[in-house]
Chain A
């Protein structure tokens, strides 16, 4: 175990951290980080130029040797600096930890509340609507990621 670890870490110095307001979800040495930022999909390898952008609701994929870690993420921010990739999102859930039923309830609730908002006037509903749409998007994202990567 320790041997292969040393072997693998040779010549590699890219690190990645996925951080939510509650905790650090992922922290480790990696080969490649793939995420969707403001202007499209980006893959970050070692020695990438420093960069700050936002990430869209979707997934972040982290490749480490043969392993791939996937997280369903809400929107947030993305920063590359000195071979450290930091993904700052409100939520980051591994496919195995996604509860599809819960995610579906979330979508339903957001949709119900959205339809209730429909008869309010524009000014009142603006920010609320955006928030609910975000919630629905994240719910759909969770379901999608769970279906694609989740076991069984």
Chain B
């Protein structure tokens, strides 16, 4: 059962926790940005996309 949590996500299988730990360490090492800044950065990416789509649709309908 433990192996159901593994790496190569096809549809929506959960990512493997060991691989993710290794990957996040590497990302931290390469980028050198602290967790709080990464939350803001990735959060902005996640929020901006739908907001941009909604603005475009609003403008189109206006």
A and B pair up:
no
Q: A: which residues have CB within 8 A of B?
A: none
